[in-house]
Amino acid sequence: MILQHQIPDRMSGLGIIPIFPAFAGQVPRAFKVLYPETNMTKMSLWNSFPDKYCCPYFIDPNEELFQTIGKLFIEEQIAEYGTDHVYNCDSFNEMDPGNGDLTYLSNVGKSIYQAMTSADSDAIWVLQGWMFYNDQFWADTDRAKSFLTSVPTGKMIVLDLQSEQFPQFTRLEQYFGQPYIWCMLHNFGGTLGMHGSADTINTDVIATRTALNSTMIGTGLTMEGINQNYVIYDLMSEQAWRSEPADLTEWFRNYSRRRYGKQDENAERAWHGFQNTLYIFNGLYRMRGQFAVSKTPSLDISTWTWYEYSDLFDAWKALLMASDNLKDSPGYLHDVVDVTRQVLQNNGDIYYNKLVEAFTAKNISEFQKFATIFRGILLDLETILATNEAFLLGKWLEAAKGYAGDIKEEKLFEYNARNQITLWGPYGEIMNYAIKQWSGLVQDFLYPRWDEFIYAMNFSLVYDTEFLENTVKVLIFFLYEEPFVYSRKVYTTEPAGEIR
């Protein structure tokens, strides 16, 4: 509770308007017993999680009980924290309303907003716009219009959540008059793959803001994870005050100077290369920043890239050539590890495809050669990651355990920390969604499962037996993946080794 007070107080002190939650409609299952006559629906399973981990009831916003709870919720919140009159509410995020009738949707919007204004007459509703892209239900623009226009114009602010790739403001006619924020989502799960849409960010934010009849009122960052791709967030943050696009060639050159504290021609050449490889993405492919080495072993992993590997490798080599001049720069030392990690992942994709091709052709000698190389990539990845504290599993786990009040909590917090970056669910319901390339995680999670999978492939080839891929995956889960999340192994929080 102390921290909950400190955060909004600090935000206000910096001139930031805190956004507090409003009641969205989800309630514990006991409510159905207490209010049997109220129209409420049990929510559907999400990503195949077991029933006990999901599925509360959702009270129809047109119900009187929704109004009662919504009013009380905000009143209690205001009494505790005060208010700046701005509230977020996402009743239908990755959940359909269940009724596509236009009048119903309009009434639902009015009811949700009324629950806010009954406690705060100056309430402004902030709505996450992910549903307009992600859910087929809202592909019908009339449905979206009925919902969005149910609130007085200007009393709702929509977060156009992934504007750099899947903007919805054009399809929805500038949200039918409601103001919105141009947001860069960019990252899912805090994965570390290097990518970004620098050209899109550099031009589209300004073009959208200055377009005829635009209702855009600001820019936002809506990433799911931080501590990755710092350059793209630097560029996006500048868009809040830019009136015209930057010269990106100059901007990336200057970025290397700002980041490393001095000018270096090799570093500038490297970042020019990164600009034209990693950060030139423009397309509809759903980016997740993942690669073969960090995915669950399989024979049908789809690998792809939007740039030539050789161009990235050349830029990486240029970065390494700056070592004598920049060896004392923390930013440089971090980036050498980060880009090397990316290069190793790219090589992992290359040799994964060679591995599968040799296996399919039943070429034992070629398969074994590529298997050795692929395993070596993972071993090299572990070694390079261990040299920088930003890529250590131990830092993550010790931070989680540090919040525990007793040993029971410590075990729970450590389990959750391990689970979130691997299985994300008791049985791997969202396996690898938030996977990281961290020292310790590569050693005890990524490498063992690939090692086991390759061993089984090799056994199948050498002894000419059927490769039971699904059986091997089950074995990997019980031998390596699940045990990892229950392990109490302690990992170092200090980097080891040097970059040479």
C-beta separation of 397 from 418 below 8 A: yes
C-beta neighbour count of 3 within 10 angstroms:
6
Is 305 within 8 Å of 355 (Cβ atoms)?
Answer: no
Ramachandran quadrant class, 413 (left: phi over 0; alpha: psi -120 to 50; beta: rest): alpha
Share the mean pLDDT of the chain: 96
Q: Under CATH, what is the fold of the domain 1-260?
A: TIM Barrel (3.20.20)
* 283 pLDDT more than 90: no
Position 179 confidence tier, pLDDT thresholds 50, 70, 90: very high
- Token pair of 290 as six digits: 């993942």
Q: How confident is the model at residue 48 (pLDDT cuts 50, 70, 90)?
A: confident
What count of other Cβ atoms lies within 10 Å of the Cβ of residue 223?
19
CATH tag, 284-486 = 1.20.120.670
Q: Which residues of 10-43 are buried (b: 16+ CB within 10 A; e: fewer)?
A: eeeeeeeeebbebbbbebeeebbeebeebebeee
pLDDT tens by residue, 297-341: 999 999 999 999 999 999 999 999 999 999 999 999 999 999 999
**Phi, psi (deg, nearest 5) at residue 27:** -140, 155
- Residue ranges per structural domain of the chain: 1-260, 284-486
Question: What per-residue confidence (pLDDT) applies to 65?
Answer: 97
pLDDT in tens, 412-424: 999 999 999 999 9
> What is the Cα gyration radius of the chain?
25
User: To the nearest 10°, the Cα dihedral for 297, 299, 302, 307?
Assistant: 90
Separation of alpha carbons 447 and 382, rounded Å: 9
Strand 180-184 and strand 20-21: the pairing is unpaired
Closest C-alpha to 440, from 473, 474, 397, 478: 397
Provide long-range contacts, Cβ within 8 A and 24+ apart, for 49-54: 49/425, 49/429, 50/426, 50/427, 53/425, 53/426
pLDDT(14) > 90: yes
- Higher-confidence residue of 497 and 292: namely 292
pLDDT at 447 over 70: yes
How much of the chain, in percent, has pLDDT values that exceed 90?
94
Average pLDDT over residues 262-279: 98
CB-based contact 32:412 (threshold 8 Å): no
Percent of the chain with pLDDT over 70: 100
pLDDT tens string 96-137: 898 999 999 999 999 999 999 999 999 999 999 999 999 999
